[in-house]
Structure 1
C-alpha cells in the first residue's frame, strides 16, 4: 500500500493561473472549480489561483463570478509538472438566475437563493439572502435592527443589547428567541430541540456569518416544523484563495463595551480550515446590566477524492449575563435605564459538534450527509416575583435546563432529462433524538453574583424529563416545462414520538409526580409552487405549503396540579401561501413584492371547565385558528447608475422594506372565572399579540471607492402584549399596548489600503425611548426597554 500511494502521489498534478475581466483587470474572489469534482478554490486579491494534488485524469476547469459569464478550459493531468491557465470573464448582467449580481462596483446587501443549491430546491419559494459582510452595521453587537433591515416583515424584540440572543419573527408570529423559525447553522440544528423547545439561545457572532438564508413557510417540506420557515446562518468558509489568512476586529463602545474577534483560515492542497474566537463584554445600557461572552468555532475539510469531501465542525459558546429585569409603565416613563433587579443572572453554555460529507456520484447525482449534536444548558438565578414587588434580598430561585440532542440528515439531488428539458429531484431522510432535563424552583443563595449551586439541603421542586424522537422523509421535484415556466411539487412524512414524565412539585414535603405523557404522531405535508419568467431578469412566483408547530414541553407542563392536559392534544397545523413578483432592472434596481396568507390552525390554549366533582379545572387543548395576511415589499436602486452608468463621485443605494401585516384570531374560544362561574368568550377578530401591523424600514448608502456610510430608519407600528388586546397596562406591566416607534441608525466603514479596516456608527441616533416587549416572566417581568443611543468603533487588520 505504501508503494501504491507513492506512485499515485507522483502522478498528481497542479494548476495555477490568473482570472481577469475584459479590461484586463484582475477579478478577485472568482470561484475556480474542477467540474464534476468537489475540488475548488478562489482567486486572491490580484486574481491569482492555484490548486494542488490533482489526480491523473481529464478535467474541465471553470471560472465563475457574479455578473460574468463562466469561462471554461479543458486539460489533462498526466504528470506532476504544474500547468498555467489565464482565463477571461465577460460581463453578463442580464442573466440573473441566482438573483445575485454586482451593482455600482459593489454588492447590495440582499439577494435571493438560486433555484437549486446546497442539496435543496428553492424554486417557487419566497427566499431572502442577507449578505452580512456587505452591510454597514454594528456586527460586534449583532444589531438585528440593522442586519434584517432589508428583509420585509421581520419583527424584532429589541431587549437584548448584549447581542447574545436573537428574537425575530415574521408574518405576525411571536419573536420569542426566534422560536417560530426553524433555526440552523450551516444547515444543521442549533436549538435545544426543534420538536419540543425550539427557542434559539445560541446566536453566532455576525462578524463570522457570511450570510443569513431565510425561506418563508414554504421551507416546511424540506426542513419540517415551524410556520415561520427556515433561518440558516451560513458561517464564513475556509479561505480558498490562500494557504493562510488572519483577520482581527476590535470594537469599543459605550458603557464599557469591548469585543475582539479573531479569525484564521486557508486552503492547502486537499485540506481547508477555518477557526475564530470572539470575546465580548460590557456593562449594558441599563443599570444592573452586564455581559461576558466567549464564542469559538473550528472547521476542517478534506477532499478525500475528486468526488468525496469530508468535514468536521465544532462550535462553543459560554455566556454570563446579568438581567436588569422589567419595569412598570411609570418607571419606564421616569427613567428607562433604571433597574430594580440587581441579582438576576443568566447563562447558556453551548457546544455543537457536526460531521459532514458530500459525495458526487456523477455530475447529475449528489449526496450530502450531516451528523450533529447539541450539548448545552440554560441556567438562571434571581428574584422572579412581579416587578412591583421589592426584592427582599432572600434566597434566589434557580432554574436549569440540560439539553442533549443528536441527529442526522441525508440529502440527495438528481438532475435528469425528460421531454427535452432538465428537471431536478431532491430527497432526504432525517433522524433526531432530543432529551431535556428540566430542573426548576431550586433554592439558591442570597448573594448578588452568578451562582447556580443549591444551598445545603436544597432541592429542585420540579424535575421533568422530556424526550423527542423524530423520523422524517421528503421528496420534492422541479419540473421545467419551458425556459420561462417551472413548477414544483413535494411531500414530507413526519413521525414524532414524545414522552414527558417526572416530579411536578413538592408540597409540604410531599412529592407530586406527573403521569407519563406519551404521544406518537404520523402525518404528511404537501406543497406546490411555480415560477414564470416575464423577462430574463423578472418573474412571478407562487407557493402553497402545509406547515406545523409541534406540541412543546411548555404545552405539556400544567401551571398547577389541578390543571388537565388534553390526552388528545395535537400539533398545530396550517399552511403558508405566497404570490409575488420579483427581479431586477438592468444593474441599478431590484425588487420583490408580494401577498402572503398564513393559516395557523389548532393553536393550543387553556380554557376553564367544570369537572365531574363540581370543581373548575383549567383544560389545555387545541382551541382555534389565527390568520395572518398582508403585503411584503422590498426595492433597492442606485439612481446614479440608472442615470449616468458610471460616476467618479461615488454611488448611492436607496432601499425600502415595507410590510403590512393583518394578524387576527378567527374562532378561538376563551373563558374566565368570575364569582365562581365560568364566563365564555371568543378572541374572534382580535389582533394576534406581539404582531405590529406596520413594519417599514428605509435606508440610504453612499459608496465611494473603499468608503461607505449608511443611514437607516425603522418605522414600526403598535402591538398588543396579550390576545385580549388590553390597552391599559396592568400593575405588573405584563399586558398593555406596545406603542409604535421610530429609530434611526448611522454606520460607516473604510478599507484603508489592503490590510486595514475601520468601522464606526451610532445606533438609535436620536435617543428614542421605546420598548418592543412586555415580558410575563424571565427575563422580566414587565416592560423590557430597548437600548437608547449607543456608539461603536471598530479597527481591524487583515493579513
Structure 2
C-alpha cells in the first residue's frame, strides 16, 4: 500500500504543476441560414475535448483552452458542417459562424451516394471522452456498415475484420460469445475485460471473469476492441478490453420503432423489437429493446429459448451535467447435445448421446453513469454498476465414450452478485504549445459468488434442484473478491508528429474462499465406501504496481507508426478450484499469472477508399495456467485434463488487415453510388511453452493457438442494396499443453484446420427491409473446440448449413 500512496502523491504533484499553463479563449455567435440564432448547434475544437452549445441568442464561449493550433467545427442537424482553423493565444477571440442549410434540391439518395463511405471498421481517436487511446492498437466494428447475420450473432461475420481472434462456436443462436486474441483461450471471452457501454458484464471480474451474457448484435451500434495495453485503464488482464456499445434513440425523432422478424433453419425464430427517440428539445434520449428467439440446432437434443431486454435513458440536464441509467436482463434455457468422440464425429457429427443435459442462465445488469464538465479543461466521468446473475448446468458429466445409463444427474449452480464504481478525471493543459492530456482514475469493486455442486434428479427434464441441498455430494463454496485500483495515464504531444503516452496502475486484490468439498470413493460395484466432508478456507491479499508506455509517430496525414509495451497480471479463478468432473481436475495450488505485452505497428487510411494495419506483437506469460493430459489412478488409469500453472510461455506473431473500395479506385461517375469492398485479415502466431525442466512440455505449442488465421470477404453496395461473402480459415492446433493427437475421451487432441464460407444480402425500401443469410454455405463439417465439461465433454460440432430470412419494419415520428 505504500507504493500506492507514493503514486498518488506523485500524480497530484504532476497535475498541480500543470495548473499554471497558459490558456486562451474563443467566443462568438452562430446563426442559421435566415440569420436567426442557431440554438441547436454544437461548437467544438476538433480532437481536443472542448465543446459547447450556444444560448438562446446564439452566443457561445469556450474558455481556458491551452494555447495552440486547432480546427473549429460547428454543426447542426439539417445544416452543412462549418470548419475553420484557429490559433488560440492568451487573448479571447471573437468569431462569427454562419451555418448553411442543406439544399432541398438534393435527393436523399444522392446525398447518401456522395457521402464518405464507411468501410465498417475504424479506430478510436487519441482522446475520446475521458478515455485515452494514443499509441494503442484499437479496432472498432460499426454494425450499421456491415452486412451480416445479426439475429444469430454470427461472430465469424461480425468480427471478420478484427485481427488475431480465435472464435469458438458452441451454439446456433449465438447465446454465448467465445473469442480470444493472440493465443488466449476463447472460453466465454474470459481473457478480455468484457464491457457494455463501458461497464463490466462478466460474472466476477476477478474470481470468474466469464461472460455468459452476449448483447444482441441487432441492438448494437459498435464493438470496440483494445489490445493488451488496455491493462492500465481497464484492468490488468492480458487480452485487452472488449466493449459493446448499444444504440441510442434517433436524435431527430421523438420515437422510432424497429421490428425485425427472422425465420431460419431447424425451427429458428427470432424477434427483435426496439423503441427509441429524443424528447425535451434534445436533452432526453431513450432506447429500449426486447429480443426473443427459439429453435433447435441441426443436432438432436439441442433446443433453446432466450429472452433479452434492455432500457437505456440519457439526460443532458445542463451543459455541464449528463446522466445515463440502464438495465439489462437476459434469461435463456438450452438443451445440450453433449460432445462426440473422434470416431463418432467422423461417422455422423449430427448425432447425440446425451438427452438429459440442460443449461440455464439468468443475467441482470444495472448501471448509472455521470459525465460532468465543470469547465472546458476538465472532464469527470463516473459509473456505478452492478450484477445479479445465476447459471446452472444439469446432466451427465461422464466421459462421452461412456453410455448414459441413467441415474442421478450432476447439478452445478453458480450465483453471482457484484458492484463496482469507476471514476475518471481528464484534464487538458498546455505544454510545448500543444494541448496535453492527463487522466487519473480509480476503481472499487466487490464481488460475491456461490458455487455449489451435487446430485440432481434422475429424470431428463430441465429440473434445476438439488436432491440434498443441505448436504451436497460434491462441494459448497462462498467466494469474496475485493479490488481497489488507481490508474494514471497521459498523452503528450511532442511536436506535430510524435505522441507519447506513459501510464501506471496500482492494484490491491483480496480473494477469499470458504466452504467444503467431499472426498467420495466408490468400490467396483458402485457402492459408496468413503464419504468425507473436508472444510476449506482461504484468504489471500496482494498489491502491486504495473506500468506501460506507448507512442505514435505520424509519417504524414494518413500514415502513422505506433508502439507500446505494458505489464499484465491475472488473478486465479477461485471458483474453478473445487468443481468435480471425471475428465477434468484443477491444481489446488494455482498461482496468479503475470507478464507483459508489446505491439509495434503501422496503420493508415484514406476515408472511404482504403484502410490498413500491420502489427507485430509479443506476449510473455509467466506461470501460464494451462491444461496437461495425465493418467488417472489404478485400476483403470483413465486419462484426465489437469489445469495447473504449466510453465512460462511466449507468443509472438504478425497481424495484418487491409480493406479497399475497388469501385472508388476506378473514379467513374457511373459507379459513384456503388461500392465493392475487398478485405483481407490475416494473423500468423507462434506460441510455445518455455519449460526446460519439463521435457514433455518444453517448446510444445500452447493450446488453442492456431498458427494461421485468415478471414477475407467481398461486400457490394448499390444504393440501399448490399451483399457480402465472407471466408474464414483457421489452421490446425491443439487442445492441451502436451499436444496430444488423440484420446479415447476426445477431451484432448488435435483440432483440424477448417474453412467456412458465409453469405448475406439485404435490401431496404422506405420503412421496409429484408435480409437473407446463409451460414456455412458449403456445409463444411468441422469443430472449433474439445470441451472438458459443458457443453460436452468431447468434440462440439459446429453448425451445418443454415438459412435465415429477416423482415424489418421501421416507423417513427
- Tell me the TM-score normalized by structure 1: 0.85
Pick from 627, 630, 637 the counterpart of residue 660 of structure 2. Answer: 637
Partners of 2:232 and 2:82 lie apart in 1 by 32
Task: Describe the SS at the equivalent of 1:523.
Answer: strand
Does 2:403 correspond to 1:390?
yes
Report if aligned partners of 2:577, 2:588 keep a CA contact under 8 Å in 1: no
Partners of 1:730 and 1:499 lie apart in 2 by 36
Residue 53 of structure 1 deviates from its aligned partner by 10
Q: 1:620 to 1:352 in 2, by over 3 A?
A: closer
Partners of 1:113 and 1:387 lie apart in 2 by 46
Task: Describe the SS at the equivalent of 1:333.
Answer: helix
Q: Which residue of 2 aligns with 1:123?
A: 134
Cα deviations across residues 699-751 of structure 1 (Å, max 9, x unaligned)?
00111111011011111100111111111x21111111100011101101111
Residue 133 of structure 1 deviates from its aligned partner by 2.1
Q: 1:788 to 1:58 in 2, by over 3 A?
A: same
Cα deviations across residues 474-533 of structure 1 (Å, max 9, x unaligned)?
000011011111111000001000101101126468552343111111001100011111
Partners of 1:565 and 1:775 lie apart in 2 by 18
Residue 383 of structure 1 deviates from its aligned partner by 1.1
Partners of 2:244 and 2:344 lie apart in 1 by 37
Report if aligned partners of 1:71, 1:88 keep a CA contact under 8 Å in 2: no
Task: Describe the SS at the equivalent of 2:568.
Answer: strand
Task: Describe the SS at the equivalent of 2:670.
Answer: coil
Residue 421 of structure 1 deviates from its aligned partner by 1.2
Task: Describe the SS at the equivalent of 2:345.
Answer: helix
Partners of 1:117 and 1:705 lie apart in 2 by 32
Report if aligned partners of 2:398, 2:581 keep a CA contact under 8 Å in 1: no
Pick from 199, 202, 218 the counterpart of residue 191 of structure 1. Answer: 202
Partners of 2:670 and 2:780 lie apart in 1 by 37
Does 2:605 correspond to 1:593?
no
Report if aligned partners of 2:626, 2:737 keep a CA contact under 8 Å in 1: no
Q: 1:445 to 1:623 in 2, by over 3 A?
A: closer
Q: Which residue of 2 aligns with 1:486?
A: 499
- Tell me the TM-score normalized by structure 2: 0.83
Residue 584 of structure 1 deviates from its aligned partner by 1.2
Q: 1:769 to 1:510 in 2, by over 3 A?
A: closer
Report if aligned partners of 1:295, 1:317 keep a CA contact under 8 Å in 2: yes
Residue 446 of structure 1 deviates from its aligned partner by 2.1
Q: 1:250 to 1:669 in 2, by over 3 A?
A: farther
Task: Describe the SS at the equivalent of 1:647.
Answer: helix
Partners of 1:297 and 1:53 lie apart in 2 by 34
Alignment of 1:640-655 (within 5 A): 640-644=663-667, 646-648=669-671, 650-655=674-679
Q: Which residue of 2 aligns with 1:244?
A: 255
Report if aligned partners of 2:390, 2:414 keep a CA contact under 8 Å in 1: yes
Cα deviations across residues 8-47 of structure 1 (Å, max 9, x unaligned)?
xxxxxxx99799xxxxxxxxxxx953559xxx9xxxxxxx
Q: 1:116 to 1:668 in 2, by over 3 A?
A: farther
RMSD, aligned α-carbons:
3.2
Task: Describe the SS at the equivalent of 1:286.
Answer: coil
Partners of 1:747 and 1:564 lie apart in 2 by 43
Pick from 704, 718, 723 the counterpart of residue 690 of structure 1. Answer: 704
Q: 1:114 to 1:188 in 2, by over 3 A?
A: same
Partners of 2:287 and 2:409 lie apart in 1 by 42
Residue 554 of structure 1 deviates from its aligned partner by 4.5
Partners of 2:57 and 2:399 lie apart in 1 by 69
Which segment drifts farther, 640-649 or 274-283?
Answer: 640-649
Partners of 1:560 and 1:651 lie apart in 2 by 53
Partners of 2:808 and 2:627 lie apart in 1 by 53
Structure 1 segments unaligned to the other structure (5+ residues): 1-14, 20-30, 41-50, 74-83, 91-100, 610-617, 671-680
Cα deviations across residues 549-589 of structure 1 (Å, max 9, x unaligned)?
1111156448699x99677x642111111001101146411
Partners of 1:565 and 1:726 lie apart in 2 by 20
Residue 394 of structure 1 deviates from its aligned partner by 1.9
Which segment drifts farther, 237-246 or 339-348?
Answer: 237-246
Task: Describe the SS at the equivalent of 1:688.
Answer: coil
Alignment: residue pair count: 719
Partners of 2:384 and 2:163 lie apart in 1 by 33
Partners of 1:773 and 1:139 lie apart in 2 by 23
Report if aligned partners of 2:581, 2:789 keep a CA contact under 8 Å in 1: no
Cα deviations across residues 232-255 of structure 1 (Å, max 9, x unaligned)?
001112322211111111111001
Residue 435 of structure 1 deviates from its aligned partner by 0.6
Q: Which residue of 2 aligns with 1:789?
A: 801
Q: 1:237 to 1:589 in 2, by over 3 A?
A: same
Q: 1:185 to 1:595 in 2, by over 3 A?
A: same
